[in-house]
Chain A
Amino acid sequence: MRAFGMALFASLICVAGVTAIGENDAANGSRLAELLGSGDDRGFARALQPRSFSFPQDHGPHPEYRNEWWYLTGNLDGDGGRRFGFELTFFRFALEPSMPETDSNWRSNQVYIAHLAITDAAGEKFYVAQRYSRSALALAGAQAEPFRVWIDDWEISTESAENSNVWRLQAGEREFGLDLLLTAVKPPVFNGIDGLSQKSAEPGNASYYYSITRWQTEGLLRIGSAQFRVSGLSWLDREWSSSALAADQLGWDWFALQLSDGTELMFYNLRRNDGRRDSHSAGTWIAANGEASHIDSGDLDIVVTDQWQSPSGGVYPAAWTLRLPKKSLTLNVRPILDNQELITTVRYWEGAVDLSGDRDGKTIGGRGYVELTGYATATRGQWP
């Protein structure tokens, strides 16, 4: 559930220049909804009915839709059991449905943004960096065969079309970076109804949404001059659409949880302006054999058990108890580090979490990632 990406475009704008978010927009969420819901989307393709996915083509870009993202998160263990989390995300935005006729290679209607975040639980540090570029020349872009999405020297790629279930992630700044090899151990699952994820009652207010929920991950992680050999599990979320949020939706809590018994739970909790859960909230349960089943809004009970006050303002939930009676599952979710907040114009929290609980009476553990939006007011932030 990353409809959130469009708001990032606003943050990009702020980075590029002057005021992007209006001074009077006190609540981030309403602004977000406006950004996502408004705008002329005529000319863009829309997610109106289920489609048939095919790979590796659908790993590649869908430029006829307004926005799209490749979202990779993961939990890693370093030498000596040092605990890390990472997020590497590429967003694509189409400024216009079509490209103007031109002779210049620089002309483009597509913009790419990428976020890299690394959580160092032992060092109690959270590192964030951003890149952005037009999709022109070879500066940034995405392609299906062989799969590749990149900005500058940051990229997610496959070695070859035959080996499309092994992905390499390379991204770094002067202070930190990663170079990981991911091997998918489960096939893609299609969220919503066969991959059509309805976000509000209005037809077309939906996205195409698939995930690959378990990747065996190995590689190198760099913090300062220190390099760590790491291994663990990763999660891919892929989504594209031309519109997504309704005006009365404030934000969302997204859970991507990998359980120790080989199952996964994904759920997005859409929060309305009145504080209640939107009935379009939904999730997916993935069995150990890769079989997926839909989870309705009413299936999952979420209780917030702790809160965290951001030094930059705003109070985030910081621990949860999730109950999924359908699967006899109770899970306690706790971040490995409180401060995993990305300070941007549109601030959001995206962090690694630990799981503990029981399923069918047996103790269960696990790890995952949680994304929280709409808790902090929009302030003009600075990129680290």
Chain B
Amino acid sequence: MIPVTWRANFGYLLRHPWQLALALLGIAVGVAVIVAVDLANASARKAFLLSMDAVTGEATHQVVGGPGGIPEETYVQLRTVHGIRSIAPVIGGYVTVADTQLQLMGVDLFAEQEMRSFTAEASKSTTAGGTNVEALIRGFLTEPGTVTMSRRTAALLELEVGDRFEVIADGRLHNAVLLGVFGDADAAGLDRLLTTDIATAQVWLDQLGFISRIDVRVDDGDNAMVERLESVLPDGTRLLTAAGRTRTTADLSAAFMTNLTAMSLLALLVGLFLIYNSVSFSVLQRRGLIGIQRALGVTRGELYVLILGEAALIGLVAACIGVLAGLWLGEQLLMLVSQSINDFYYRVNVTDVVANPLSIAKGIAAGVGVALLAAAVPAIEASSYHPRLAMTRSTLEQRTRRLLPVVALAGCAAIVVAAAVLMFSGRNLVAGLSAVFLLILGFALCIPLLIRVISRTLAPAAKRIGGTLASMAISGIAASLSRTGVAIVALAVAVSATIGVSVMVDSFRGSVRQWLDQTLQADIYAGVERGSMDPAVLADLVALPGVENYSTSRRSFLEDEDGRTQLVVIQMAPDSYAGTEILDADPAEVWPAWESDDVVLVSEPYAYRNGVALGDTIELRTAAGERDFRIAATYQSYDINASALLISRSTYDRHWNDDGIDSIGLYLADGVDAQKVLQRIESVSAGRQQIRFESNQRIRDLSLEIFDRTFIITDVLYWLAIVVALIGILGAMLAMQLERAREFAVLRALGMTPAQLGGMITLQSAVIGLFSGIAAIPLGVVMAYVLIEVINRRAFGWQIDMTFAGGIFFSALLFAVGAAVLAGLYPAYRAAQSQPALAMREE
């Protein structure tokens, strides 16, 4: 019996390929987005950990110092006075070769045996005569500029062993020669890594007298060694576990990845409505068939299994398509992800998407799961019909109407739960995201009841204005709510997402723009991308004619067990103070103390994340050991790495041995042409150090450009959600048109022209769009609020003023109506073209 019913049902699906295709597409898109985001995240993270591990090697611990690094004498003392042997000095930094950014690692080959093997490797073809490694040691020690890199990196840079090339470090050009290559094709963790002698690295990175860190290898369980090291380490240094250091660095980019995941879930959520629509539609379409099958003795259980099985199969097929699409999409996303991580966090070289089985399994599970979930309700419904009733449509609608208050109540409950989660989940980002989805779900469940109320209210008015047809169009929506409800909900969710996201992005952008206007006080900014400015160049720049004043800034980091603390070190010019908006204290009192005392200002994100406030003290590791610093105020910052402490140059110089300056702000005298000064900067720095310099205006534009680029991913994802919703509407309208073919035929027989019929259906589409748009507005506003106040804050700690761009709601309405009308055109055309006689013959 079952095979026959299966055949009957699948036969039905095959005769309606459109519906099948829509259901497949809906799930596939959702799965594709999930898989893509998951793969991109997993690949980026894996590549990141791989390169951290490769560079860490056998080291179990690392000694880190202050912003300027560790005095090299500290390392020498550990070896010569304390006899500690399993340690290796490292100088780390970044350089550029042929426009490619590379990580530079300066090592002492004699200490490397304890830590890493690749650093001492060299190719067989290094030199003629002598052994290769002898040549490596000789070259590293005696020839400045000798480097090694992985075979893959050499291929990437199109370099061969023995080639000479130029390296830009700290904005200065240096000559390098490729002494040898190491690593085989699988050593992806060593990609874009340049190894050189510690002496060369010191010169290139301008770290004479200092090293970046000391790698330490401690045998398992040798706590005595750890204690001994800790007892002899000088003030200003700290012993960290290598694993902890990797983790905290990895965590830096975690917030970014969570945001992506949130977006992918949003896409799936919209997909869920679509799938529900498709599956329930295909079930409802077959209610006649189901009625016959029930009448013929198919049990409820059999029917239930049949419908769910069908959904699972569709889900599986669609998920497989989705996975394939996701692999492709993942690669596109990965480029964006790794770009963002490289820009802000660490060297990752993600060249391929790692098609890890977990991501794929997740996608398939999501696809099948969602399909089953979507089919469960219709399956229960269908199997619970009395055979005779199942054949009538009115029964279904009656049931739907009876259910509406229950559904709406469930929706309200979901909203309440979501609000509770938001209130009690502290700073947990995942909980925040879950609440957002619950909120959307709750709203969605309320929408059908809302439509019924609205359409009932509107129908009389519509009759007065647009006549019977308009009234019919509107009441038709309410009459077939089981169908239209889903379409409206899907569109409403998609549109609300666009409202929520655009309000969030616009508000954010507005805040950033305002902040930029305030922060960028100087007329011209000049600096180096990494490292510090050449003091001689700096002196010449600030002495240029027309320059009235200048400020300097330095960004440095203090590492400890919990991660990194960012110090923004500023030497203010008189006009600079106005550039920092103090949120919770009187600037007139704050600034003098900030200049002279051991105080810091904390950025708003820092305060939020670390739970500190005005008046608290923060303990920082200075060159002379731990010192307390008082928080004098909180300031506003939308910098991408905004979690920072603002500290005055004089305070910084009192406590740390780092005289580096990253950038300067030049304040010009009145009437001086900035363009002329820019040209002078170019000629002053040419050939000495690569200085990046931009006018105030240009930096503002560039910053907003970067901002916009950051939200490209957001854009891409919500457009995907809209495509999903559009397909949903098309499906719903087609279904309605098919179902009501006889009704339309009667109307036609009663004298309605094809144009009138088409018009009525188009009007109905427009009204569906309108309802969706209306429903989307409150949801969109709530989403925007939650995105700004909860998600952004929890992810980045930013406080953003919510602003509504004029016309956002109107354009959302317009968009919803337009989309619905567009999706309804084809069904309207088909209905208008149908032959009333054919349609009525069924009677």
Contacts and interface: CB of A to CB of B under 8 A. Distances in A.
Interface in B122-149: 122, 129-134, 136-138, 141-144
Interface residues of A, number: 39
B108 to A, nearest CB: 7
Given A18-B121, A132-B110, A104 B132 contact: no
A19 B72 contact: no
Contact of A134 (B72, B110, B144): B110
Given A10-B131, A105-B209, A150 B80 contact: yes
Interface stretch (B196-204, B404-412, B448-456): B196-204
Given A18-B132, A106-B202, A153-B79, A13 B137 contact: yes
Contacts of A16: 109-110, 112-113, 120, 133, 136-137
Contacts of B138: 95-96
Contacts of A106: 72, 108, 197-199, 202
Contact of A152 (B85, B113, B121, B199): B85
A275 interface: no
Contacts of B110: 16, 111, 132-134
Interface string A101-128: 0111111110100000000000000000
B234 to A, nearest CB: 16
A100 B143 contact: yes
Given A18-B122, A107-B144, A153-B82, A13 B198 contact: no
Contacts of B113: 15-16
Contact of A13 (B80, B83, B134, B144): B134
Contacts of A13: 131, 133-134, 137
B144 A10 contact: no
A356 B109 CA distance: 47
Name the prevailing secondary structure of the B interface residues: helix
Contact of B131 (A15, A19, A111, A138): A19
Question: Among the interface residues B134, B200, B202, which one has the most CB atoms of the partner chain A within 10 A?
Answer: B134
Contact of A39 (B122, B130, B137, B142): B130
B72 A105 contact: yes
A43 to B, nearest CB: 12
B81 interface: yes
Given A17-B120, A107-B199, A100 B144 contact: yes
B14 interface: no
A15 B197 CA distance: 17
Contacts of B136: 16-17
A139 B72 CA distance: 11
B202 A104 contact: yes
B82 A19 contact: no
Interface string B703-715: 0000000000000
B110 to A, nearest CB: 5
A91 interface: no
B641 interface: no
B80 A139 contact: yes
A324 interface: no
Contacts of A39: 129-130
A292 interface: no
A268 interface: no
B208 interface: yes
Given A95-B141, A109-B141, A10 B132 contact: no
Given A13-B137, A105-B209, A19 B132 contact: yes
A14 B133 contact: yes
A9 B208 CA distance: 29
Contacts of B143: 100
Nearest to A129: B85
Contacts of B197: 106-107
A367 B209 CA distance: 49
B131 A20 contact: yes
Interface string B198-225: 1110110000110000000000000000
A139 B74 CA distance: 11
A14 B132 CA distance: 10
Question: Among the interface residues A95, A104, A105, A153, which one has the most CB atoms of the partner chain B within 10 A?
Answer: A104
Contacts of A20: 131, 133-134
Nearest to A138: B76
Interface string B94-127: 0000000000000011101100010011100000
Contacts of A108: 141-142, 199
Contact of A107 (B82, B130, B141): B141
Contacts of A152: 79-80, 83, 85
A176 B131 CA distance: 33
Contact of B80 (A14, A100, A138, A172): A138
Contacts of A133: 79, 110
Contacts of B82: 153
A96 B142 contact: yes
Nearest to A105: B72
B83 to A, nearest CB: 4
B83 A137 contact: no
A250 interface: no
Name the prevailing secondary structure of the A interface residues: loop
A100 B134 CA distance: 18
A13 B198 CA distance: 18
B229 to A, nearest CB: 15
A105 B142 CA distance: 12
B575 interface: no
A355 interface: no
Contacts of A270: none
A236 interface: no
Nearest to A106: B199
Contacts of B200: 104
Nearest to B206: A103
A72 interface: no
Nearest to B136: A17
Contacts of A230: none
Nearest to A22: B131
A198 B172 CA distance: 52
A21 interface: yes
A100 B79 CA distance: 25
Nearest to B207: A104
A102 B133 CA distance: 23
Nearest to A107: B199
B73 interface: yes
Contacts of B72: 105-106, 137
A152 B141 CA distance: 18
Nearest to A155: B80
Interface string A175-192: 000000000000000000
B346 to A, nearest CB: 26
Question: Among the interface residues A38, A102, A107, which one has the most CB atoms of the partner chain B within 10 A?
Answer: A107
Nearest to A172: B83
A284 to B, nearest CB: 34
Nearest to A96: B142
Interface in B566-583: none
Contacts of B76: 137-139
Nearest to B112: A16
Contacts of B137: 13, 16, 95, 111
Contact of A153 (B80, B121, B133): B80
A132 B108 CA distance: 11
Interface of B: 72-73, 76, 79-83, 85, 108-110, 112-113, 117, 120-122, 129-134, 136-138, 141-144, 197-200, 202-203, 208-209
27 contacts: A13-B133, A13-B137, A15-B113, A16-B109, A16-B112, A17-B109, A17-B120, A17-B121, A17-B122, A19-B132, A39-B129, A96-B138, A99-B142, A100-B144, A102-B203, A106-B199, A106-B202, A108-B199, A133-B110, A134-B110, A137-B76, A139-B79, A139-B80, A152-B83, A153-B80, A153-B81, A153-B82
The list of the 8 closest CB pairs from A to B, nearest first, reads: A17-B120, A153-B83, A104-B199, A106-B199, A107-B199, A104-B202, A17-B133, A152-B79
Given A10-B131, A102-B199, 8 more contacts: A18-B120, A18-B132, A38-B129, A39-B130, A95-B141, A108-B142, A137-B76, A153-B81
